[in-house]
Amino acid sequence: AQKITQTQPGMFVQEKEAVTLDCTYDTSDPSYGLFWYKQPSSGEMIFLIYQGSYDQQNATEGRYSLNFQKARKSANLVISASQLGDSAMYFCAMREGWDFGNEKLTFGTGTRLTIIP
């Protein structure tokens, strides 16, 4: 079964509008972390935001916020006031547990976001 599901292969959004990228996850581990990365055409992976499973408040980083709904196992990324430079692939990822011997990130298939001027 997929551990990270991103159901939007591609999205087109008008510049300056807000955009929500969907991510659902599946884990039975009570301790986990959720990440969002941006991958521009250059291929580099740029860390955007992190949410821990025990964090009470939604994470925010500038124009990025993570809408964390634990009961629904959902961790959507919200980008406010989108810019042309936001056009890229966006990946949701999960780290399960805190087992030093098995700590790793599992990624979703990504969403290609295109900002339209």
Residues that bind another protein (CB under 8 A): 6, 33, 35, 42-45, 47, 50, 52, 91, 93, 95, 100-110
Strands 60-61 and 46-52, sheet pairing: unpaired
Say how many C-beta atoms besides its own lie within 10 A of residue 70's C-beta.
11
- Residue with Cβ nearer another protein (76 or 95): 95
Closest CB 7 distance from another protein, rounded Å:
13
In the chain, the amino acid numbered 8 is: Q
- Say whether 89 sits in a helix, a strand or coil: strand
Closest CB 42 distance from another protein, rounded Å:
8
- Residue with Cβ nearer another protein (12 or 47): 47
